[in-house]
Chain A
């Protein structure tokens, strides 16, 4: 039921773990559905230089988490904000229809991590000024 790419990312997930001094952290999920994703990003000069994740969830949830960490590395914040859940699914050669809703949270988690980063930036600017 899963594509080869999904199975590859599920079997050998990229960038599992935490970034202790992360610039942004985002959590997205639904305990009822059984998928919770936590994403850490490191940002330098407006560019995402590192991304790591931890995910509680099914094969699709783990694969989408892994895929998005690959997709965002090297992207500017503006570029990263353009990534959609659909784009992540497409990069994995598609997901089974039932998985599109509950297990495809990676872009939402990324957005929350970026929001967290931007909020911290704003906080830093106002305390500096």
Chain B
């Protein structure tokens, strides 16, 4: 059976061009970029070139503003812990949103145990952060604000440029987790007005285990990893040369085709959303209809639970994801869906389908063919569903 992969927000397949670009650094070009002899200098050259290419795509003013990390989670941790500890004599208050990825959310929770105060700014029913709410949360102690560029579950894109205007006037550091947007929609650090920005290569058809943090010139950060002087003393450890080369290649390719690929995915996304809503009653779209990632579809089916849905889809050859508690091994459903104001039993019935550059209209139609039957089968099994009345039986 041909598999239909609709979980591109989780990870993407690596592009063949990216693998080609990486191979020399996994084979003959094995030098350590910190070594002064020829092999080391060759590796250094590759590293410098990758840094330069990434800086240009992001609109950074200097390649020195790019710090390579092991991925998005490390970039988020470095931005938040690194800035908080560097600025702890200036203040102890951090603002973030109620729908951040756990790499930001849990890092802020960790800092609370170390004397920092954290304010979670709520979102509206579309999952959008109100810039005025960020402004209202500011205190004289506020040292850092971290708001994601787009949400990984519901795809909502945040008004980052508007928020940054407010913060810039006051000289407050602003970080954005752009793991879901880099390579998919335009991301320019000056247009967004952010001081720090996280990205992860495997979200845009690059390799896993490599990411970067953009850090605007002049910002002090405490390193998380101590050791050698790599990455301007901000991230010790021999650089993942092949991974970094692959990330740069993937980013340049994604940026080049974004103008065609984003509208193509948007069209397929809307066809899938409209198809689901038209075919399956008691279903709601999560997130904003327009201010959302080109490839994100997130819906809640009432009266059923997400994991059961995913297992059935998998048996039909479709890979998808859910914010259900049962898929994450915790008791609570996704904090993102709850922050939208959804009741627990509805948040449990969420399904996320995320499209990618390989997704075709035929695949979308295949999903629309099998999904209604799966939902109906599970509803027939659900004590909350009364098929005749078509409403809640309890």
Query: Using a CB–CB distance below 8 Å, which chain A residues touch chain B?
Result: 7, 10-11, 13, 16, 27, 31-38, 54-62, 98-99, 101-103
Contacts and interface: CB of A to CB of B under 8 A. Distances in A.
B321 to A, nearest CB: 14
7 contacts: A11-B315, A33-B325, A54-B381, A55-B381, A56-B382, A58-B305, A58-B308
A37 B158 CA distance: 39
Contacts of B333: 34
B147 to A, nearest CB: 28
A54 B382 contact: yes
A31 to B, nearest CB: 5
A5 to B, nearest CB: 14
Given A58-B308, A59-B311, A98-B329, A32 B344 contact: yes
B384 interface: yes
B234 interface: no
Contact of B381 (A7, A13, A99, A103): A13
A10 B344 CA distance: 23
A56 B305 contact: yes
Name B's interface SS: loop
B227 interface: no
Interface of B: 303-308, 311, 315, 324-326, 329-333, 344-345, 348, 380-385
A103 B326 CA distance: 9
Given A31-B345, A34-B325, A59 B308 contact: yes
3 closest residue pairs by CB, A with B: A58-B326, A34-B348, A58-B307
Given A56-B384, A102-B331, 17 more contacts: A10-B308, A13-B381, A31-B344, A34-B344, A55-B383, A56-B305, A56-B345, A56-B385, A57-B326, A58-B305, A58-B308, A59-B326, A60-B326, A61-B305, A62-B381, A99-B326, A102-B325
B112 to A, nearest CB: 24
A38 B325 CA distance: 20
Contacts of A31: 344-345
A64 to B, nearest CB: 13
B331 A58 contact: no
B381 A16 contact: yes
B325 A56 contact: no
A56 B383 contact: yes
A59 B324 CA distance: 12
Nearest to B326: A58
A30 B348 CA distance: 12
Contacts of A56: 303-305, 345, 382-385
A98 B331 CA distance: 9
B44 to A, nearest CB: 44
Query: Which residue of B306, B307, B326, B345 has the most chain A CB atoms within 10 A of its CB atom?
Result: B326
A32 B324 CA distance: 11
Contact of B345 (A34, A37, A54): A34
Contact of B308 (A33, A38, A54, A62): A62
B299 to A, nearest CB: 16
B332 A32 contact: yes
A37 B311 contact: no
A36 B308 contact: no
A10 B383 CA distance: 16
Contacts of A58: 305-308, 324, 326
